[in-house]
Amino acid sequence: MNGQERRLPAIREWLPDDRPREKLLLRGPQALTEAELLALVLRSGLPGRSAVDLARNVLRDAGSLGTLAGRSARELMRMHGVGPAKAAGLAAVFEIGRRVEAGGGERRTVVKGPADVARIMVPALRDRHQEVFHVLALDSSNAVTANIELSRGTLNASLVHPREVFKTAIDHRAAAVIVVHNHPSGNPEPSPEDLSITRQLADAGKVLGIPVHDHIIVAGPSWTSLAERGVL
């Protein structure tokens, strides 16, 4: 090859049944490998390398599809061959998957217990690498009427102040609230700061007549309810 890198055939040169798009249309998405599915999102590869080759490299560098799904668009852009357009496409697809799993587009969730909150929030927060604090506004029937991301960063009293939590609750005419945040460490145990903030919010809610029904901590696929722990 005179020292030149061997050129691999472009996808358009593959047999029709082997091309990801044609395979999906003929046999369904379940027939595709993870790399082939990613290739359909990436749409193009690199010089001398197909979109499938690039997808395989991206998966190899990430270690798994789950790890890849947890990366932000900026983190995806640090991967070889992934520019702004490809990173945005990947981030959008992974976010759609999270929202579908969390029940996006369905009728409002009525919260009967912490498991109902976990069903919504675990898919949304389990892959986040930064602490994120959400407020769920509930109506008088305990149906979730709004899900607001209030802050990002290490949870502390200055970041999550009762004033901001209950301003959000009042703005959304909440009869009650549930607060949720994640532990990127994967440990669902509440910290002393978590307990302190929960008690502050509960006390403020009593004064305002907007009770805090629960504080859920999401840690990967696991979660902890501080109401079940007796903190509320």
Burial (CB count <10 Å: 0-12, 13-18, 19+), residue 59: middle
Sheet containing 222-225: which strands, arranged edge to edge?
Answer: 144-152, 132-138, 176-182, 212-219, 222-225
Digit-by-digit pLDDT tens for the chain (232 residues) are: 444 555 555 566 565 566 888 888 888 888 889 999 999 999 888 888 888 999 999 999 988 888 888 888 899 999 999 999 999 999 898 888 777 766 655 557 889 999 999 998 998 898 888 899 999 999 999 999 999 988 887 665 446 789 999 999 999 999 999 999 999 989 999 999 999 999 999 999 999 999 999 999 999 999 999 999 999 9
pLDDT tens sequence across 131-147:
999 999 999 999 999 99
What lies within 8 Å, CB to CB, of 27 at 6+ separation is: none
By the 8 A CB rule, do 79 and 58 touch?
yes
* Diameter over CA atoms, the chain: 80
The verdict on domain 114-225 having CATH code 3.40.50.1820 is no
CATH for 11-101, options being 3.40.50, 1.10.150, 3.30.710, 1.10.246: 1.10.150
SS3 135: strand
* 214: amino acid identity, one letter: D
pLDDT tens track for 1-49: 444 555 555 566 565 566 888 888 888 888 889 999 999 999 888 888 8
Look up residue 49 and give its DSSP letter.
B
Beta bridge partners of 212: 177
Among candidates 122, 229, 95, which has minimal Cα distance to 181?
A: 122
- Per domain, the residue ranges of the chain are 11-101, 114-225
Return contacts of 165-168, CB within 8 angstroms, 24+ apart.
Answer: 165/135, 165/201, 165/204, 166/204, 166/205, 166/208, 166/210, 168/135, 168/137
